[in-house]
Amino acid sequence: MAMHISSGLEYSGPVGRIRGTYELPVGYVDVLATIFLCVCYADSSLLGIVSGERYVWFAVDIAALLTVLARLSRFHDCLIANPWLTAWPVLAMVSALWSLTPAVSFYHGLQLLMTIVAGYVFQLYFGRSRLLRILFCALVAAQILSVLSELVLHRSAMDGGNAWFGIYTHKNVLGSMMALSALCAACLFMDGWKRPITGASFIGSLVILYLSHSTTAQVATFVGLSPLIVFAIWQRGTLFTGFVIGLTIALGSVALVYVVVHSDAISQQFLSDVGKDRTLSGRTLLWQFAADQFWREPWFGIGYKAYWESSSTPFSYLQFVIGQKLWFFHNNFYDVAVAFGAVGLIFFGLGLAACFKRACVSALNGRSYSDALPLSFCFYLAVSINLENALFQNHSFSQFLLAALIPVTVKQIRSGVDRSLDYNYPSST
pLDDT digits (tens, 9 = 90+) for 162-179: 788 888 888 888 999 999
**Buried-state track 234-252, b at ≥16 Cβ within 10 A, e below 16:** bbeeeeebeeeeeeeeeee
SS3 state at 427: strand
How far the first Cα of the chain sits from its last, in Å, is: 12
In this prediction, what percent of the chain has a pLDDT beyond 90? 27
Nearest to residue 345, comparing CAs of 375, 300, 305?
Answer: 300
Over residues 105-124, the mean pLDDT reads 90
Confidence category of residue 234, pLDDT binned at 50, 70, 90? low
Over residues 256-284, the mean pLDDT reads 52
Please work out, in degrees rounded to the nearest 5, the angle formed at the alpha carbon of residue 194 by the alpha carbons of 193 and 197. 130
**In the predicted model, is pLDDT for residue 268 greater than 90?**
no
* More confident of the two residues 17 and 92: 92
SS3 state at 334: helix
**In the predicted model, is pLDDT for residue 190 greater than 70?**
yes
- pLDDT at res. 264: 53
* More confident of the two residues 203 and 415: 203
Nearest to residue 12, comparing CAs of 236, 205, 286, 344?
Answer: 236
- Output the average pLDDT for the chain: 77
pTM of the model: 0.82
In this prediction, what percent of the chain has a pLDDT beyond 70? 74
Q: Which residues contact 298 (CB under 8 A, 6 or more apart)?
A: 341, 342
Cα of 100 vs its chain's centroid, Å: 30
What is the distance between the alpha carbons of residues 253 and 69, in angstroms, rounded to a whole number?
55
